[in-house]
A and B are shown apart, each in its own frame.
Chain A
Amino acid sequence: MRFLIIEDNPKLGSGLRRALEEQGYVVDVTQSGHDGEHMAAVQAYDGIILDVMLPDMDGVQVCRNLRRRKISTPILMLTALSDTSEKVAGLDAGADDYLTKPFELEELIARVRALLRRAQPSEGSVLKFDEIEMDLLKRSVTRAGRPISLTAKEFALLEYFLRNPNRVITRTALGERVWDMAFEEQSNVIEVYVSRLRNKIDKAFDRPLLHTVIGTGYILSADGPPA
């Protein structure tokens, strides 16, 4: 896995390089937007970390140029201020994700992993169950050929169900796997998200696929909940 870091602050750049190298990535660092653009064009990277504020060139512009040159390497933007306009501009220019400086190293690494996972789904890019099809690359879902629009969280939730079909999934498992968090018993967060997802994938169809297992959790099954 080869990574490019375009960051004008040499200390931050080398810190990030060390952190990523410890994760087993090969890392190149440059401080200039022009150089970065050139490097990304001539060498195939698996991911780019791009600072928005560069001395010679706007990071958003670098991102836009790369996308215009049909280079689809995943880009994680670093914004200096939590300024929404920068984030929106970055995402509009074709960045895949952004992180506001300062960030926790753990979070950066988690985002980098997510970025890579999204770009290269390990076990095929399409998940299927019964009539449901999920395209992980296009981030699209259909049931019986009809497109269904899901939010990011609903998508993640359905992905987890599709990866574990016909198995009772507890609320605890869902919380840990989808939100990376242990929800308290009194919390209805998971119920709300699941009912919203069910609303979208089951409501308009005569055969429900996502069932509640009372007192335990949920199951994605064509045959209804286990007795």
Chain B
Amino acid sequence: MPGGPQSGTRALLPASPGQPRTDRGWGPLQQSKTLRFKLTAYYVAIFGALQVGLWVLVQGLVASHLRQRFDTELLQRAQGIGEAIELDSRDHGSLRLAERLKGVIAPFESQNTFIQIRLSASGDSVRSANLRGFDFPFAVVSEDTERAPEWRDLRGAIPDALSGKGHQLRLVNICLVEHRPPIYLQVAASLAPLERTLTVMQQLLIVFIVVSVLTAAIVSWLLAGRSLAPIGLITRHARRLSAAQLDQRIPAAAREDEVAEMVSAINDMLARFENQFKNQQQFISNVGHELKTPLAVLLVELQTRRARAAADPELDAFFDIAEDEVRRLLRTVEAFLILARARARRRLETTAEVSIEDVLIAGTQHGVRYADARNVRIVPKFAVDEQLSEPVVPGDADMLTTLIENLIVNAVRHSPPDEAVEVEAVSTPKQVQLFVRDRGPGIPEEHRKRVFELFYQVESPAGESGKAGIGLALVKAIAELHGGTVSVRNREGGGCEFCVTLPTVARP
């Protein structure tokens, strides 16, 4: 026998009550989305950081280069001025100097250059007109200043008119006449053009960085999406796979990469599952056959022989008991087989069109004997629409009959004598509802959710024993194999109402 005894034992075990479903609200699809987001975010962050670093470096280099050029130019300009005025120490204090200077300085003024010649001995200075009387700060820091040019950035206290609003002036001091008292030439130019260049460059770089980071984000989002797409596909396929269609596989991608490898690994796994599942189904089928055949033989033997033994009341009683017990055993075996199959798959594989009304009457017929013994009446009813359409369920007639029969037997068991058990089929276009109503004690709230659990039992009246609490679990299993649901509620005026909802097929 395939499958081995162990797996079979497991298959026949009842479902543990309240077993948690593995479905959760969020699944791999959302996870892959998050993964896509994360990948993109990491990539953009790294790319952005590199870009910013590069920007800082470039900006720094360019700025220092431009400054150097600016300084060189300024110094050249100052030296040019120095040469042009051809000062010597005799010029000190003379009016001639001022006169001469004006002529020399004038052409430079137009170039946005500010010039001041400081005669350190007298403290007098001669300055270009565009300085408008502003006195450049001056301090001879050391003796070296006399020889080397001294650089200074002027900010703050400069009138806006000189530098342009908020900008700096670059000032160079050079010593024109080194003999005591020395004469200094102070030449300054606004840094505004340089700063404007730098600002423009900065703006361009920022635009460039923003554009490139955005591009990187879009590209990496798309790339991540593309490389994660097979995962979404695998997820969707894996979701659709159920025990009823284990022969399905995830379609392999055309390319050969890690994902394709994973798909092939999953498909191998599915193949193993399918194999095992088939073995198990075969095993259930075999067990069913092995258990039921001897009982079927026994039942036929008992029934053929009892006709001849009818005269003897003692033997008759024996046959009654034997037949009943064999039937019960058969029902139990059948119930366990259905429960085992219901646990293994969600829907029936093969179905026939079953008239729910025929099934309802067949179930009633089976229940009548049981009901008569207790003086309970069974009242089957159909609630039909105007078209009088007949509800047809894709399914298994025997199983559905068992479902109705179990509900009826359950209702009769809890019904007081001389009361009616109502069995009603209510059909709507897409589904049919089967109601079984009794006038028994009803089911207390705390039991209501658990009555469909295997081996769960609400105490039955008159201390009846021998019922193992299989019937309603079987009802639920059969309903679910047909894609339906079961529920129970208490009726007004006492008793309870079981409702089985089954999807129907449209019949023309």
The chain A residues found within 8 Å of chain B, CB to CB, are: 9, 11-12, 15-16, 18-19, 22, 53, 80-85, 87-88, 91, 100-106, 151-153, 179-181, 183-184, 186-189, 192-193, 195-196, 199
Query: Assuming A19-B300, A180-B365, A192-B357, what are 6 further A-B pairs, CB within 8 angstroms?
Result: A15-B300, A84-B350, A88-B351, A105-B299, A179-B361, A187-B381
The chain B residues found within 8 Å of chain A, CB to CB, are: 285, 288-289, 292-293, 295-297, 299-301, 303-304, 307, 330, 334, 337-338, 348-352, 355, 357-358, 361, 364-365, 368, 377-382, 384, 388, 390, 395-396, 398-399, 420
Distance from B312 Cβ to chain A, minimum over Cβ atoms (Å): 18
Q: Are A102 and B295 in contact (CB under 8 A)?
A: yes
B354 — nearest CB in chain A belongs to which residue? A84
Residues on B with C-beta less than 8 A from A12 are 293, 296-297, 300
Q: Are B330 and A53 in contact (CB under 8 A)?
A: no
10 pairs of A and B residues whose beta carbons are closest in the complex: A15-B300, A102-B296, A85-B350, A105-B303, A84-B396, A82-B398, A192-B382, A11-B297, A184-B379, A12-B297
Distance from B299 Cβ to chain A, minimum over Cβ atoms (Å): 5
Distance from B428 Cβ to chain A, minimum over Cβ atoms (Å): 16
Residues on A with C-beta less than 8 A from B299 are 102, 104-105
A105 to B357, CA, bound (A): 25
A3 to B498, CA, bound (A): 44
B285 — nearest CB in chain A belongs to which residue? A81
Residues on B with C-beta less than 8 A from A187 are 379-381
Distance from B336 Cβ to chain A, minimum over Cβ atoms (Å): 12
A189 to B424, CA, bound (A): 10
A11 to B301, CA, bound (A): 9
Q: Are A189 and B357 in contact (CB under 8 A)?
A: yes
Q: Are B364 and A181 in contact (CB under 8 A)?
A: yes
Q: Are A22 and B361 in contact (CB under 8 A)?
A: no
Residues on A with C-beta less than 8 A from B300 are 12, 15-16, 19, 105
Some 19 contacts from A to B, beta carbons below 8 A apart, are A11-B301, A15-B297, A18-B304, A19-B303, A81-B288, A81-B292, A84-B351, A84-B395, A84-B396, A87-B396, A88-B352, A102-B292, A103-B296, A105-B300, A106-B303, A181-B364, A184-B378, A184-B420, A187-B379
Distance from B481 Cβ to chain A, minimum over Cβ atoms (Å): 10
Distance from A178 Cβ to chain B, minimum over Cβ atoms (Å): 10
Residues on B with C-beta less than 8 A from A19 are 300, 303-304
Q: Are A181 and B365 in contact (CB under 8 A)?
A: yes
Q: What total count of A-B pairs have CB within 8 Å?
A: 113
B337 — nearest CB in chain A belongs to which residue? A81
A199 to B390, CA, bound (A): 12
A9 to B288, CA, bound (A): 15
A125 to B357, CA, bound (A): 28
Residues on A with C-beta less than 8 A from B350 are 83-85, 88
A83 to B377, CA, bound (A): 32
Distance from A59 Cβ to chain B, minimum over Cβ atoms (Å): 13
Q: A18-B304, A101-B292, A102-B292 are in contact. Are A183 and B380 (CB under 8 A)?
A: yes
Distance from A46 Cβ to chain B, minimum over Cβ atoms (Å): 21
Q: Are A153 and B297 in contact (CB under 8 A)?
A: no
Q: Are B361 and A181 in contact (CB under 8 A)?
A: yes
Distance from A101 Cβ to chain B, minimum over Cβ atoms (Å): 5
Interface centre among A18, A53, A189, A199 (most CB of B within 10 A): A189
Q: A15-B297, A84-B352, A187-B379 are in contact. Are A22 and B285 (CB under 8 A)?
A: no
Distance from B327 Cβ to chain A, minimum over Cβ atoms (Å): 8
Residues on B with C-beta less than 8 A from A192 are 357, 382, 384, 388
Residues on B with C-beta less than 8 A from A105 are 299-300, 303-304
A83 to B378, CA, bound (A): 29
Residues on A with C-beta less than 8 A from B420 are 184, 186
A180 to B348, CA, bound (A): 31
Which of B293, B365, B378, B398 meets A179, CB within 8 Å?
B365
A102 — nearest CB in chain B belongs to which residue? B296
Q: A153-B355, A192-B357 are in contact. Are A80 and B379 (CB under 8 A)?
A: no
Q: Are B334 and A82 in contact (CB under 8 A)?
A: yes
Q: Are B289 and A153 in contact (CB under 8 A)?
A: no
Residues on A with C-beta less than 8 A from B337 are 81-82
Q: Are B355 and A181 in contact (CB under 8 A)?
A: no
Residues on A with C-beta less than 8 A from B297 are 9, 11-12, 15
